[in-house]
Amino acid sequence: MQMRESSKGYSGERTMAEVELVFLGTGGGRFATITQKRRTGGIRFLSKDLNMHLDPGPGALIYSLNMRLDPQKITAVLVSHGHPDHYTNAEVLIEAMTKGMLKKRGILAAPHSVLLGNNECGPSISKYHQQMPEKVIEIKPGVVFHIGDTKVIATEARHTDPDTVGFRFETPDVGDIGYTSDTEFFEGIGKAYEGVRLLLLCVMRPSGNPWKGHMTPDDAIKIVEEARPEMAVATHFGMRMIFSGPYRETKLIEKKTGVPTLAASDGMRIRVGEEIRVMRADRKQRVLEDFLRSSRKK
Ligand SMILES: [Zn+2]
Ligand SMILES: [Zn+2]
């Protein structure tokens, strides 16, 4: 296992074989979202064959533009469930993906709640927007589909939207990446992510402060112990987690499991290649924040 963390900003180009994850948000839950204590734009996956946006919450469009990730290059939008911190910007990203709704293009993959609605939530994406992707895939645990050369398996999650899914991405070049989405711990959840190189966990609550349908570091420990990834990343922090300190909370996972574990930060990039490299955003990436701050002064 090799891991390198750099705080010097974004050095160098992605190599042909690498998959890069860009964190356009690391916040989750109502109060982190409405205060934007942490951004809630979801995660962009980029490789030579992949330009996919996962869970486009509020800010997905604006931070894509801000970080110069052209949303018109997206070829797939994935929504794990019907809560606003995961779906709010899905429609505008579909508009970008379909060249302003002029070209049938790309893939939309989402569970029943998001596409059609269930008793708890949704539908979250209009019929108009569901007509334009080339392919719309209704996902539930066990459904397998492809985005370019990446095989995607929808995994089980247990959350307040009963249709919530997680994902396992199997890339031909750099191995597998898992994403739990919002879920509580249940027996066997780690099995779906066994052997992934990188496991992203939505750890919304701090240790000792559980909430039904969500994960604390104590739950994450059990999942990481079962899955044994090369590296784990905690993200999707709620307000209590933010106040408690995601770095400190995440270290609990690393200490207990021995698996290198990071707390995600806004603008962070992870490149998965032969090794896993982590690059934190530097101040230059905060252009939009500065703009918002200066416009408020007027
Ligand atoms: Zn959430
Ligand atoms: Zn949720």
Express each pLDDT in 91-104 by its tens digit: 999 999 999 999 99
Nearest Cα neighbor of 259 from 285, 231, 298 is 231
pLDDT number for residue 13: 78
pLDDT number for residue 281: 86
Cα 204 to ligand 1 centroid, rounded to whole Å: 8
Cα 102 to ligand 2 centroid, rounded to whole Å: 32
* 8 A C-beta contact, residue 105 and residue 135: no
**Each residue of 104-162: pLDDT tens digit?**
999 999 999 999 999 999 999 999 999 999 999 999 999 999 999 999 999 999 999 99
Cα 214 to Cα 5: distance, rounded to the nearest angstrom:
28
Domain ranges of the chain: 3-8+17-297
CATH level 3 topology of 3-8+17-297? Metallo-beta-lactamase; Chain A (3.60.15)
Ligand nearest to the CA of 25: 1
Ligand nearest to the CA of 86: 1
Cα 189 to ligand 1 centroid, rounded to whole Å: 18
Residue 291 CB-density burial (10 A; 0-12 exposed, 13-18 middle, 19+ buried): exposed
Cα 27 to ligand 1 centroid, rounded to whole Å: 8
Q: Which residues contact 89 (CB under 8 A, 6 or more apart)?
A: 41, 42, 56, 57, 58, 59, 60, 61
3-state secondary structure of 271: strand
Cα 78 to ligand 2 centroid, rounded to whole Å: 14
The number of angstroms, rounded, from the C-alpha of 293 to the middle of its chain's C-alpha atoms is 26
| Band of residue 73 on the pLDDT scale cut at 50, 70, 90 | very high
Cα 145 to ligand 2 centroid, rounded to whole Å: 23
Supply the pTM of this predicted model.
0.92
